[in-house]
């Protein structure tokens, strides 16, 4: 039974024991992940102070994004902490262009670890909450040579997922596929302890998060939803909404787990070749798994995120997740538009748009 005050290590062991599966490798792997997150938390807490001399070189990553020192250091800490334990066959990271097979000097296990070492690092210099997102899969064929195809599994196959949050209070939030649990780092004893058992997402909410500066690029269904929220009590929703935008996936999702709402980073016309901004395997799927385990929904507007079959390790996706009723409303608006039943959307904010129409 999960009890407040339990350490993360004890919770993981007891939760796996309750399933009737020994789960020794998974428990050990999750403990390695939490250790890496503690190291990253210490590095993040240094802020603008001189970083350790062991920080690897940094520059531009595979996505064309500028790497911060913390991005590179966090990636190295996760790899070095988790590669030697014998639970993994390989890893996939936002900061690595290719998959990372476990070196031959270490024993191999049955799991794959995917992670974004620092989500929200662009905000690090202004002291906004950032975090580490991670997800764990079974290797499809533990006896075969590791390839990128091993990681190309839909999110519904995840064994575990979670994030660590580095902010005023450091936390780790995790699911093993049976509810969502939040742990707060007790610095006096150096352990994450259970403070938020059975986290749930409220079915409805009056709060939404989206980057409004991209409004001119949105599809009409997103424009319609946002306009209705902005109209508030005077509009068709007859309810006043609050808008939030932190530009940190971990912070946005944590707010939804605490008090509900909907987070949107949808596809748009700014970069038509990309189907969205977030990476599916190590950003979108882990948080989608968490939100659905807490009773919410996660979608790209047209399909459940956890059902998408990936075709590339760094595949991108649009994301709409949070309170069930709000996500369902946005999906409904997409369905109406795709059927041609909502071809015109007139709004003083965005004017009439007709994006992504099929012939």
pLDDT tens, residue by residue, 235-291 = 999 999 999 999 999 999 999 999 999 999 999 988 877 789 999 999 999 999 999
The answer as to whether 351 is a domain residue is no
Q: Which of 196, 216, 241 is the last residue of a domain?
A: 196
Between CA 183 and CA 186 the distance in angstroms is 9
In this model, does residue 53 exceed pLDDT 80? Answer: no
The answer as to whether 359 is a domain residue is no
> Average pLDDT, stretch 301-305?
97
User: Based on the domain organization, do 37 and 111 belong to the same domain?
Assistant: yes
pLDDT tens, residue by residue, 64-103 = 666 788 899 999 999 999 999 999 999 999 999 999 999 9
| Rg for the chain, CA atoms, rounded | 20
Number of domains in the chain: 2
The answer as to whether 96 is a domain residue is yes
- Residue 262, pLDDT score: 98
In this model, does residue 355 exceed pLDDT 50? Answer: no
In sequence order, the 6+-apart residues with CB closer than 8 A to the CB of 357 are 343
Give the percent of the chain with pLDDT over 70: 89
CA distances to 61, 108, 113 from 101, rounded to whole Å, are 19, 9, 11
User: Based on the domain organization, do 304 and 184 belong to the same domain?
Assistant: no
The answer as to whether 346 is a domain residue is no
Between CA 157 and CA 288 the distance in angstroms is 12
What size, in residues, is the chain? 359
Which CATH number is 54's domain given? 3.30.540.10
The residue range of the domain holding 165 is 8-196
- Residue 2, pLDDT score: 74
In this model, does residue 223 exceed pLDDT 90? Answer: yes
In this model, does residue 353 exceed pLDDT 50? Answer: no
- Residue 64, pLDDT score: 60
pLDDT tens, residue by residue, 120-156 = 877 777 888 999 999 999 998 877 899 999 999 999 9
What is the rounded end-to-end Cα distance, in angstroms, of the chain? 56
């Amino acid at each position: 039974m999960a009890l407040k005050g339990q350490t993360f290590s004890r919770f993981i062991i007891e939760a796996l024991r309750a399933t009737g599966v020994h789960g020794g490798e998974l428990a050990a792997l999750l403990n390695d992940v939490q250790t890496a997150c503690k190291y990253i938390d210490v590095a993040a807490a240094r802020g603008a102070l001189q970083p350790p001399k062991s920080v690897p070189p940094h520059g531009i990553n595979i996505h064309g994004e500028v790497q911060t020192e913390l991005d590179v250091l966090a990636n190295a800490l996760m790899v070095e902490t988790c590669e030697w334990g014998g639970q993994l066959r390989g890893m996939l990271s936002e900061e690595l262009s290719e998959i990372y097979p476990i070196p031959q000097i270490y024993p191999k296990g049955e799991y794959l670890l995917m992670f974004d070492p620092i989500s929200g690092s662009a905000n690090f210099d202004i002291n906004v909450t950032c975090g580490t997102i991670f997800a764990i899969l079974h290797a499809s064929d533990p006896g075969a040579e590791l390839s990128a195809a091993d990681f190309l599994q839909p999110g519904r196959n995840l064994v575990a997922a979670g994030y660590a949050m580095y902010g005023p209070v450091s936390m780790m939030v995790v699911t093993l596929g049976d509810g969502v649990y939040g742990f707060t780092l007790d610095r006096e004893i150096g352990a994450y302890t259970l403070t938020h058992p059975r986290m749930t997402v409220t079915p409805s909410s009056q709060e939404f998060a989206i980057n409004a500066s991209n409004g001119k690029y949105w599809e009409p269904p997103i424009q319609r939803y946002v306009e209705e929220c902005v109209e508030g009590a005077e509009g068709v929703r007859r309810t006043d909404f609050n808008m939030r935008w932190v530009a940190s996936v971990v912070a946005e999702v944590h707010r939804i787990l605490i008090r509900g709402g909907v987070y949107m980073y949808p596809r748009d016309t700014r970069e038509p070749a990309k189907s969205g901004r977030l990476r599916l395997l190590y950003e979108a799927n882990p948080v989608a798994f968490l939100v659905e385990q807490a009773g919410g929904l996660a979608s790209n507007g047209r399909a459940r995120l956890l059902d998408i079959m990936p075709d590339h390790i760094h595949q991108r996706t649009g994301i709409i997740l949070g309170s069930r009723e709000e996500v369902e409303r946005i999906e409904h608006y997409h369905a109406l538009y795709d059927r041609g039943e909502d071809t015109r959307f007139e709004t003083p904010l965005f004017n009439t748009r007709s994006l992504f129409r099929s012939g």
